[in-house]
């Protein structure tokens, strides 16, 4: 057999091979693009909610685009999670319980723009919560309001305000309550919060850790936690070992979300990440939020759960602390009021 020679007549063969190779690459690229993964970095008492929400979104995205998406989760204390993203945890989206823990992605690492909160409705807050009390069966210490938390015979479980949004909201709930008492001022609020934390035997780094301390380890007479976490606690203790007490006044907890611009551009996941967060505002997303005891922003869906979400007198961080930036500087920064109070405990 004669050796094969390239001639003008057979120059099409390498060209054909190149075309076939290129088509293969394109098809390979399409398959990769169709099956994407995103990482949602969230705070530690949203596990059960996002397990259900993710299933719903995966089905929605498949129906809309015919593509598959896998959603991975990371949970921990809100502020610790935010710092992990700053330090390199490659979140596509962040779903936190306070705007400070999303602001830091801009101020410390320029991962997102300064105006991130304007990109989704309600300042990027799809649902809210509040701080409630979880007590032992029969409420043996008769704990009904914030005043009861500073009694000498009451032991209180709260996560660390330095690492946990749950802890910050609990701290600011007590601070705001004291300010709103007759003749309340900063001095009396500092004294009130100091007495409260004198009754705190241990500071866990996050809300789920505090739940474990209270419910599983049996430490404390009352747990301060988000309304949705209180519902999870009750579900896990079905023999009525624990009860939820709604104080007559508490703090509004706003739960902001954002996609992480630098990461989604690098991962090629901007479209699915944005759609994932927008789905939180859909009727399906709002319904799932309500089922997990987050207060939906959709008023029609909120009304369906009127028996679950009792009307409460809620004040905001703006009302009692001048906003989150000022609250951070005054109360939670190193050397701030919390450090001063807890160091003298």
**pLDDT tens, position by position, 11-23:** 544 444 444 444 4
For the chain, the domain total comes to 2
**pTM for this structure?**
0.87
Among left, alpha and beta (phi > 0; psi -120 to 50; other), residue 199 is: alpha
171's enclosing H/E stretch is helix 165-179
Give the sheet arrangement for strand 257-259, strand by strand: 68-76, 35-43, 93-95, 257-259
| Mean pLDDT within 246-270 | 97
pLDDT at 13: 43
With tokens 């949705």, the residue in question is 228
User: Both 181 and 108 in a single domain?
Assistant: no
Tokens encoding 53: 């929400």
Say if 281 falls within a structural domain: yes
Contacts of 292 (CB under 8 A, 6+ apart): 48, 49, 52, 228, 231
With bands split at pLDDT 50, 70 and 90, how would you rate the model's confidence at 29? very low
| In-domain check, residue 73 | yes
Where are the strands (E) in the chain, listed by range?
A: 35-43, 68-76, 93-95, 127-136, 156-157, 222-226, 242-245, 249-254, 257-259, 295-296, 313-315
Average pLDDT over residues 130-147: 97
192 and 220 both lie in a single domain: yes
Question: Which of 251, 264, 258 has its CA nearest to residue 324?
Answer: 251
148 and 158 Cβ atoms separated by less than 8 Å: no
Q: Which helix (H) or strand (E) holds 250?
A: strand 249-254
Asked if residues 126 and 95 have their Cβ atoms less than 8 Å apart, the reply is: no
- One domain, residues 249 and 221: yes
Domain assignment of residue 22, yes or no: no
- Do 59 and 75 have their domain in common? yes
Residue 128's pLDDT band, with cuts at 50, 70 and 90, is: very high
Average pLDDT, rounded, for the chain = 91
Same domain, 198 and 267: no
Angle between helices 100-107 and 78-86 in degrees, nearest 10: 20
Q: Which residue has the higher pLDDT, 128 or 232?
A: 128
Looking at the structure, tell me whether residues 221 and 264 fall in a common domain: no
Which pLDDT value is given to residue 331? 98
- In 10 A of CB 338, how many CB atoms? 23
User: Is 18 domain-assigned?
Assistant: no
Pairing of the two strands 313-315 and 249-254: parallel
The CA distance from 327 to 172, in Å, is: 9
Give me the mean pLDDT over the 301-313 stretch.
94
Residue 74 lies in a domain: yes
Give yes or no: residues 247 and 295 share one domain: no
Q: Are residues 187 and 248 in the same domain?
A: yes
Residue 335 and residue 208 share a domain: yes
The pairing of strands 222-226 and 35-43 is unpaired
202 in the same domain as 320 = yes
Pair 144, 247: CB distance under 8 Å: yes
Structure tokens at 311: 């009307």
163 inside domain: yes
What is residue 31's predicted lDDT score, i.e. its pLDDT?
A: 35
Phi, psi of 251 (to 5 degrees): -110, 140
- Same-domain check for residues 84 and 175: no
DSSP state of 152: T
CATH code: domain of residue 262:
3.40.190.10
Of the candidates 333, 202, 254, the one whose C-alpha atom is nearest the C-alpha of residue 43 is: 254
The residue range of the domain holding 288 is: 35-126+255-304
Q: Which of 43-52, 91-100, 113-122, 239-248 has the lowest mean pLDDT?
A: 239-248
Within this chain, do residues 197 and 320 fall inside the same structural domain, yes or no?
A: yes
Domain assignment of residue 20, yes or no: no
**Does 185 map to a domain?**
yes
């Amino acid at each position: 057999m004669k050796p094969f020679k390239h001639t003008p007549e057979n120059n099409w063969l390498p060209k054909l091979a190149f075309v076939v190779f290129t088509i293969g690459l394109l098809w390979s690229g399409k398959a990769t693009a169709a099956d994407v993964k995103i990482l949602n970095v969230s705070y530690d008492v949203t596990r059960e909610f996002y397990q259900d929400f993710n299933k719903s979104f995966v089905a929605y995205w498949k129906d809309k685009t015919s593509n598959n998406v896998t959603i991975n989760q990371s949970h921990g204390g809100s502020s610790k999670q935010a710092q992990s993203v700053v330090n390199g945890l490659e979140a596509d989206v962040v779903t936190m319980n306070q705007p400070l823990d999303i602001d830091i992605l801009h101020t410390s690492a320029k991962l997102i723009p300064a105006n991130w909160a304007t990109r989704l409705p309600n300042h990027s807050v799809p649902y809210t919560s509040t701080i409630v009390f979880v007590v032992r069966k029969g409420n043996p210490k008769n704990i009904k309001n914030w005043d009861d938390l500073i009694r000498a015979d009451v032991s209180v479980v709260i996560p660390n305000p330095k690492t946990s949004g749950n802890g910050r909201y609990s701290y600011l709930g007590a601070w705001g309550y004291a300010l709103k008492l007759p003749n309340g001022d900063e001095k009396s609020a500092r004294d009130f919060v100091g007495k409260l934390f004198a009754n705190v035997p241990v500071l866990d780094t996050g809300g789920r850790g505090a739940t474990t301390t209270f419910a599983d380890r049996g430490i404390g007479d009352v747990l301060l936690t988000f309304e949705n976490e209180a519902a999870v606690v009750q579900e896990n203790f079905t023999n009525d070992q624990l009860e939820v007490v709604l104080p007559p006044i508490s703090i509004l907890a706003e739960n902001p979300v954002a996609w992480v611009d630098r990461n989604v551009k690098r991962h090629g996941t901007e479209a699915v990440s944005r759609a994932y967060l927008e789905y939180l505002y859909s009727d399906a997303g709002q319904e799932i939020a309500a089922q997990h005891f987050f207060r939906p922003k959709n008023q029609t869906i909120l009304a369906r759960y009127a028996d679950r979400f009792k009307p409460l007198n809620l004040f905001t961080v703006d009302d009692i602390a001048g906003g989150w930036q000022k609250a951070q500087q005054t109360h939670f920064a190193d050397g701030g009021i919390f450090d001063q109070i807890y160091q003298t405990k």
